[in-house]
Amino acid sequence: MDIRHDTDAQRFHTRVDGHEAEVEYELEGDVMLLTHTGVPQPIGGRGIAGDLVRAAFEHARREGLRVRPLCAYAAAWVKRHGEYADLVA
C-alpha cells in the first residue's frame, strides 16, 4: 500500500480502489495529536486504518515525537500494539 505523508495538510493518506483513506493529526510542540482516522465503507475491513496509524507512529518514532491518539480508532489500535506504547504521550 502506498501511504503518503502530506506535511502541509498534516495527514497520512492512501488511495485504494478509487477511495481515499486518511489519518489526520496536529502538532503541539513535540507531540503528534492523532485527531481523525477515516476509511470509506467500500474499502473498510482491509486493515487500511491500521496501516495508516502505524505509518503515523513510525513517523513519530523517526522524528523523535510523542503521540497522543485522540481519535477512538488510534487509541484502540495502540492498545493492541504495545510495541508503540513508549511513544504515547
pTM: 0.96
Domain 4-87 sits in CATH at 3.40.630.30
Q: 16: closest CA among 36, 2, 6, 30? A: 2
The string of pLDDT tens digits covering residues 52-68 is: 999 999 999 999 999 99
**How far, in whole angstroms, is CA 24 from its chain's centroid?**
7
Query: Residue 1 pLDDT > 90, yes or no?
Result: no
Domain ranges for the chain, please list them: 4-87
Beta bridge partners of 33: 26, 68
